[in-house]
Structure 1
Amino acid sequence: MHETIGISSPQPKLLQVIRDYYLLTKPRIIPLLLITTAASMWIASQGQVDPILLLVTLLGGTLAAASAQTLNCIYDLDIDYAMERTRKRPLPSGRVQPRNALIFAIVLAILSFTLLTVFANLLAALLALSGIAFYMVIYTHLLKRHSTQNIVIGGAAGAIPPLVGWAAVTGDLSWTPWLLFALIFLWTPPHFWALALMIRDDYAKVGVPMLPVVEGEEATTQQIWLYSLIVVPVSLILIYPLGSAGIVYGLIAVILGIFFLQKAWLLLQNPTDKQLAKSLFKYSILYLMLLCTGMVIDSLPMTHEVVSACSDRFGMIVSAIPNA
C-alpha cells in the first residue's frame, strides 16, 4: 500500500468509516424486523399505540438487530472472505478490524438493552437480548455450518421482534404475539431457501450445508411448498380463533396468500429456475411487509368504525328484502 502525497480532507475518510460500520449491521435486513415489531405493537394497543413508545421500541430493536448482524459478520469472516459476493464487505476487505467491530457490537447491545429497559420494560429488553443470543449461539455457531435445518430452527431469532413489540406495550405475552412469532418462524424457510437456491454455488464453495447444497433443488422446492401451505392458513388464525384481527386483515391475508402459493407452486414445478426462486424471494419480503401493514390498518379505530357501518348498512339491506 502507498499513501497519497499531499493534504487530504479528513471528511471523506470519516464518511467511509461511518459507512463501513453502517454496512456491518446489514441494514437491508432490519426494516423487515421493525415492521413486524410495529404490527405487533399496533395490535397490542388496539390501533392506538403511543408514538414515543413506538419510536423507542423500534430504535431499541434496530440497535439489537444491528448488534446481532455485526457479531455475525465477525463470526463469518472466513466465509465472507471466501465468497466473491461478500469479499468486499468491511471486515474481509480489512477496512474494519474484528476487535473494533466486536466493541461496536457490544456497545449497540448495551444501548438497546438500556433503552428498552428504561423507556419500555425489562421483559422487552430481555427478549431483544435473547434474540441476539439465539442468533449467534444457536443459528450462527451451532447450526449454520452443521445442519440443513439451520435456517428453520435459526429462524426463531428473526421471529422474536413481535414478542418485543407486544411486551413493550403490555408488559407480558399472550397467544397473539406467539402466533405472530410462529407465523414469521414458518415464513422464514420459504423466504431463505428461495435465496439459497439463487446462491447455491456460493454456499457449496464455502461448505455451508444449506438445503439446496445437500439435498438438491427438487427437495428444497418441495420443502418450500410445504411450508408455504402452512404459512397461509396460520396467518388466518389471527382472525379465528384468536380474534385479534378482522375482515380487512383477512381479505389482505387471503389475497397475499394466494399469490404466495402460486409462486411457490411454480417454483415446485421448475426447481432449477433461479428466476422463479428470485421472484419468490422478493415476493416473500413484500408478502410479510404487506401482511403486517394489513394488521396495522385492521387495528385502527377508524377501520373498525367503517367496517361496523358497512355491516349495519348490509344488515339493513338484507332485512329489507322480502321473504320468498
Structure 2
Amino acid sequence: MEVASRSGEDAAVVAGRGEVGLRARLGAYVALTKPRIIELLLITTIPAMFAAQRQVPGIGLLIATLVGGTLAAGSANALNCVVDADIDAVMRRTRARPLARHAVTPRAALVFGVILGILAAAVLLVFTTWQAAVLAVVAILFYVFVYSMWLKRRTSQNIVWGGLAGCMPVIIGWSAVTGSIGWPAWVFFGVIFFWTPPHTWALAMRYRADYAAAGVPMLPVVASDREVVRQIVLYSWAMVACSMLLIPASSWIYAAVAVPAGLWFLALAHLLHTRVLKGAAAKPMTLFHLSNLYLTAVSVAWAVDAAIGLPVVGWPW
C-alpha cells in the first residue's frame, strides 16, 4: 500500500511538472508576440474602423480585423525576436525574452512567426478585404526586413522610418471596412508616425547604456541629450499639428480631447527640453508613459466621436 501510494505521488509530481512545463512553453510563445505592443497597435485599429464607417462597424468584421491584426502584429514581433536575439541577450531590459533565455529555439520562433503571418493574411483576406490582407503582409515584411534587419543597426534614424510599420494598423483598419484608404486614415497615420520618435527616444534615453552595449545606434546613443530633446520637441509639435487636421472630419468630441491632450504633451516635451538645457535630471520616462496615454486618449476620442455619429465640423471654407 505504501509503495503504491508513493508511486501515485511520484506520478502526480511528474504530471504537475509537465503541466508547468507546458504552461511555461505556451507562455514563451505568447511572449514572442509582445502582447503589450499588440495592445497599442489595436488601439489605433479600432478607431480607424469606426471612423471609416462613421459608426460602429459590424461585430463580425470588427472581430475578424482584430484577430487578423493581432496575428499580423504577433508575426512581426516574433520574427523581430529572431533577428534581435543577440541584442536582446545583451540588454537588461530584454534579457527575459524567450530567445534570450533559450526558452524557445530560433527555428521554432521563426516557424511560429511565419505561421502567424500566413494565418493573418488568410483571416483578413477571407473575412475583410484583399487590400487589408496585402497591407498586413507589407507591414510584416517591412518591419522584419527593412527595420529589424537593415535600419535598426545602421542608422540613428532607425525608429523614424522603421516606425512606418507601426502606423499600418490605421490604414489596415480603414481598408478592412471600405476597401480603400480615406484621407483621415492617412492623417492619423501621420499622427502615429510623428508620435513614434518622441515615444521611443524617451525610452532610449533611459536605457542608453543598454542600446550602446548592444551596438544599436539609437539617437540618444550617438547624439547629445540637447540634440535628442530638440528633435523630440520638433516631432511632438508635428504630431499635435497633425492631430488637429482630424478635427474637420470629426465632431466637437474629438476636439475636446485632442486639443488639451496635445497641449499637455507639448508642455511635458518642452519641460524635458528645458531640464536638459539647464543640466537637471532629464526624467524622460515621464514623457514615455505620457506618450502611451496620449495615443490612447486621442484614439479613444476618435472612436467615440465616430461611434456617436454627430455631424462633423467640416472645413471652414
TM-score (structure 1 length as normaliser):
0.89
Asked whether the 8 Å contact 2:272–2:282 carries over to 1, the reply is: no
1:18 matched to 2:23? The reply is no
1:304 matched to 2:307? The reply is no
Asked whether the 8 Å contact 1:266–1:276 carries over to 2, the reply is: no
Name the aligned partner's letter for residue 8 of structure 1. V
Asked whether the 8 Å contact 1:267–1:276 carries over to 2, the reply is: yes
Q: Deviations over 1:131-151 (max 9, x none)?
A: 101111111111100001000
Per the alignment, residue 107 of structure 2 pairs with: 99
Per the alignment, residue 317 of structure 1 pairs with: none
Match of 1:120 among 99, 122, 128: 128
1:268 matched to 2:273? The reply is yes
Q: Deviations over 1:246-285 (max 9, x none)?
A: 2110111001001100110111012376663101000000
Change (3 A) 1:14 1:274: farther
1:1-324 equivalences under 5 Å are: 7-9=13-15, 10-239=18-247, 243-271=248-276, 276-301=283-308, 304=310
Measure the CA separation in 2 of the matches of 1:88 and 1:186.
30
Tell me by how many angstroms 1:64 deviates.
0.4
Percent identity between matched residues is: 44
Measure the CA separation in 2 of the matches of 1:79 and 1:48.
42
Measure the CA separation in 1 of the matches of 2:21 and 2:66.
30
Measure the CA separation in 1 of the matches of 2:304 and 2:252.
11
Instruction: Please list every run of 5 or more consecutive structure 2 residues that lacks an aligned counterpart in the other structure.
Output: 1-9
Measure the CA separation in 1 of the matches of 2:300 and 2:281.
29
Per the alignment, residue 5 of structure 2 pairs with: none
Measure the CA separation in 2 of the matches of 1:269 and 1:197.
15
Change (3 A) 1:125 1:95: same
Instruction: Please list every run of 5 or more consecutive structure 1 residues that lacks an aligned counterpart in the other structure.
Output: 309-324
Provide the alpha-carbon RMSD of the alignment. 1.7
Asked whether the 8 Å contact 2:188–2:242 carries over to 1, the reply is: no
Asked whether the 8 Å contact 2:52–2:182 carries over to 1, the reply is: no
Name the aligned partner's letter for residue 282 of structure 1. H
Per the alignment, residue 315 of structure 1 pairs with: none
TM-score (structure 2 length as normaliser):
0.91
Name the aligned partner's letter for residue 168 of structure 1. A
Measure the CA separation in 2 of the matches of 1:68 and 1:213.
25
Q: Deviations over 1:286-324 (max 9, x none)?
A: 0001101100111123x628x99xxxxxxxxxxxxxxxx
Measure the CA separation in 1 of the matches of 2:83 and 2:281.
29
Q: Deviations over 1:229-251 (max 9, x none)?
A: 11111101012xxx321211011
Change (3 A) 1:274 1:140: farther
Tell me by how many angstroms 1:183 deviates.
1.1
When you count helix as a share of all residues, which structure comes out higher?
A: 2
